[in-house]
Amino acid sequence: LFPLSLFPYIAFLYFASYDKNKMPPLALFGFKFLLVFVVGSIPAAIAASVAYGVVLADSDYLHGGAESLLTITNLLIVLGFRGA
């Protein structure tokens, strides 16, 4: 089910990047950076499972690292819209 959710999000990114939408560039970059969080979370989840035998949420260091990417995403979006 998760991979199917990427298609609507990529469509959102496609349409948000139209100049007529006037999406602030930093906010648009923040929305695109969310994909870095997604791509970064997958290996972290695999590492937590293989190395520690737990889910990502139970591995503090790996989970914290993955969530830091989400925090950066949120900051980029907020600062982008704040500067608009």
What pLDDT, on the 0 to 100 scale, is given for residue 68? 94
Residue 13 phi, psi dihedral angles, 5° rounding? -60, -40
Neighbours of 66 (CB within 10 A): 21
Distance between CA atoms of residues 69 and 82, nearest Å: 20
What pLDDT, on the 0 to 100 scale, is given for residue 76? 96
pLDDT tens, N- to C-terminus, the chain (84 residues)? 677 888 999 999 999 999 999 999 999 999 999 999 999 998 999 999 999 999 999 989 999 999 999 999 999 999 999 987
